[in-house]
Amino acid sequence: MKSKNKFYIFFFLNFLFIFVLFISNNYLKNLIFARSPVVNTKLVEDINYKMNHNYVNFFDESVYFGIGSSQKNNLLEFKKKIDINYSEDINEIEKIALIRRWVRDQQGEFSHKMWQNTRKIDNPLEALLEMQANKPGLCRRFAIVSMGAYLAKGFPVRLVFSAPDFRSKSYNHSIVEVWSQQYNKWIVVDATMDTFYLLDKIPAGLLEISEAVRNERFDKISFERNGSIHKPIPLIYFENSKQLTPFIQSFHHTFYSTNNALFDGYGVKLLGSKRLHFLHYYNENIAKYPTGKRKLALASLILSLSGIIILNIYCIYISIYSKMRMKMKYEGN
């Protein structure tokens, strides 16, 4: 094959791989949960499970306190940082509220300088130390620290998210759900806004709030802040307006972690065995999360990147080989 034709083929393939790489990367960059495996489910019982042997057992103490557990030291170090004292005479909801308040108090008052999206941390101890060092952070860090605090205090807890759509740049919100023995269900605990979410004056789970928002039952939704004066304040409508806030509009799509072993290195990761998996609830009015497109984009990203590397290595090899042949031919003459 003539060298000119080889050049054209190389140029075309390189351009094709770069184009596919750009499209795939751009799609994943703008997709929420691009780095986490997501499973769609329309079964409410999947969302409301208390324990499921297909996942890490939320209530198996060996997960956190077993001999030789790699997360034991992290959890014990986190427990040393907690300064929460309450009487055993108070009820469960009051205990959960006091822990929530402690988490909120670790970050200063609301300001645009302090409340900024920063690097994502999945280790509760690291997130707490960053918060106490007065470094900027948003709701995701509050949720991670909340996970650590409730686990350290013996409450079953899981990481949950809400989003209006599947775009990463949309207003989405990270919170936690704590299992309430009193109500026998998961209830939302939002340390960012220092509040419980209520439905008909009763602490509610994320799916309950989502259904109320989608059905426009805003009069049924309220918030219990237990006397908190911290900002930001949870609002359904903008002040002096009937326009819905981005916060309340975010409760369309809901995601639920199936593992709470953050002290053991689990987190939102693209690769590795310790990745958090999430359930996404859908029905006839809620679109499925695009798991197929995500997998295709990831495969295209990997293949195109591999193609570019191989193609350029081959080009370098051909160039070196051609120079060696010319040198041998010259020396032979």
Q: Is the pLDDT of residue 295 over 60?
A: yes
Sheet strands (E) in 247-321 = 253-257, 278-281
Coil vs helix vs strand at 1: coil
Complete DSSP assignment for 148-200: HHHHHTT--EEEEEEESSSBTTS--EEEEEEEETTTTEEEEEETTTTEEEEET
86-103, pLDDT tens digit by residue? 887 899 999 999 999 999
Q: How many CA atoms lie within 13 A of 84 on its CB side?
A: 24
Average pLDDT for residues 192-220, to the nearest whole number?
Answer: 96
Joined tokens for residue 159: 């990481």
Joined tokens for residue 173: 């919100």
Residue-range domain boundaries for the chain = 3-12+14-20+297-332, 36-289
Q: Is the pLDDT of residue 55 over 70?
A: no
Highest-confidence range of 287-296, 303-312, 319-328, by mean pLDDT?
287-296
Q: Is the pLDDT of residue 36 over 70?
A: yes
Torsion from C-alpha of 33, 127, 139, 188, nearest 10 degrees: 90
N residues, the chain: 333
